[in-house]
């Protein structure tokens, strides 16, 4: 993970059906469908590992209830928040 990313995304490759809606939805375009297949035969969505802004849009675009968890940098960890 690149330092300075505001967000992080965890994708459950076994829950993912490879629909690609999160890839389409992701504003910074840091998600992609993997070239490998998961055990149900889908190309699961994967995170490139850097550039997530923590916007959460992929979470709402994803039709599987628990396939995506979005994390965001804690407020106190941010320099601005510390100053305040």
Distance of CA 47 to the CA centre of its chain: 6
Pairwise CA distance, residues 12 & 70, whole Å: 12
- Whole-number Cα distances in Å, 22 to 51, 63, 68: 15, 9, 9
Contacts (CB under 8 A) with another protein, residues 24-83: 24-25, 27, 40, 42, 54, 56-57, 59-74, 76-77
Closest approach, Cβ 35 to another protein, in A, equals 17
List interacting residues with another protein (CB under 8 A). Answer: 3, 5, 7-8, 12, 14-15, 17-21, 24-25, 27, 40, 42, 54, 56-57, 59-74, 76-77
């Amino acid at each position: 993970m690149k330092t300075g990313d505001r967000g992080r995304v965890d994708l459950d490759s076994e829950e993912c059906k490879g629909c690609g809606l999160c890839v389409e939805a992701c504003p910074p375009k840091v998600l992609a469908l993997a070239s490998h297949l998961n055990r149900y035969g889908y190309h699961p969505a994967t995170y490139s590992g850097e550039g997530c802004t923590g916007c959460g849009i992929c979470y709402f675009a994803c039709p599987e209830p628990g396939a995506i968890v979005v994390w965001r940098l804690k407020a106190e960890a941010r320099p601005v928040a510390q100053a305040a």
